Amino acid sequence: MIYTVECSFTDPASEAEWNEFYSLAKLPALISVRGFHTSQRFKALTAGCPVYLAVHSINNLEVLQGDEYRQKGGGNFSRWQQHITDWHRNLYGGLDRAPAIGANEYLVVSAIGPDPFIKMGLTPYQMQAVALDKFPEYRWLAKLGRSVEAGIEDLPKGVYLYAPMTEQLTSRGDGNPKTSR
């Protein structure tokens, strides 16, 4: 299952510190939770969506309802909460593992169907919302090489381009994260 967390941040003075906390402390804490398998963070390059997106591969909804998640990763935003806006959480079925997006790739996300990806020659991965916000009900993910420029500037409304902010962390099963290469 794919767990997504999206938000924007409204305080430029503390945004770099918040990003450092999220990328260097929160993601490793999350990936150490039993039932989390991958975690990666992204920043939107297109308008019309929350600026930040975290994509995690997890076992099921129970992982997010457990004490270990609450202690290690759930919340922990009190210092920055007043600056976090447009916050959404979704749990999607249909894809077991999130694709690892490398430094030379983009993540493309669609809420309008797979056709824009197919027209771009990309392989779409379909997901359906099964818990939490449940909106949008369907989403499609695709990897895009940075060398591909065709169509990027003309993405339709509902299709968003993201650059990775971190490497994808993966669980080693011993509570310690490793990065995907």
Give the C-alpha separation, 137 to 127, whole Å.
8
DSSP string computed for 14-56: HHHHHHHHIIIIIHHHHHTSTTEEEEEEEEESSSSS-SEEEEE
pLDDT at 80: 86
Helix (H, G, I), strand (E, B), or coil: what is residue 63? helix
The residue ranking higher by pLDDT, 155 or 179, is: 155
How many whole angstroms separate alpha carbon 175 and alpha carbon 156? Answer: 41
List helix spans (H) across 22-144.
27-31, 61-65, 67-72, 115-119
The confidence score (pLDDT) of residue 38 equals 97
Residue 181's pLDDT band, with cuts at 50, 70 and 90, is very low
pLDDT for residue 109? 97
Residue 13 pLDDT grade (very low, low, confident, very high; cuts 50, 70, 90): very high
Q: What is the pLDDT of residue 78?
A: 80
Please state the pTM of the whole predicted model: 0.91
Q: State the pLDDT at residue 77.
A: 74
pLDDT at 47 over 50: yes
pLDDT at 176: 52
Q: What is the per-residue pLDDT for 24?
A: 93
Compute how many other C-beta atoms are within 10 angstroms of the C-beta atom of residue 76.
17
106-115 pLDDT, tens digit per residue, is: 999 999 999 9
**Separation CA 75–CA 89 (nearest Å):** 12
User: How high is the pLDDT of residue 174?
Assistant: 47
Q: Exposed, middle or buried, 116 (CB in 10 Å: 0-12/13-18/19+)?
A: buried
Query: Which of 85-99, 127-141, 153-167 is the least confident region?
Result: 153-167
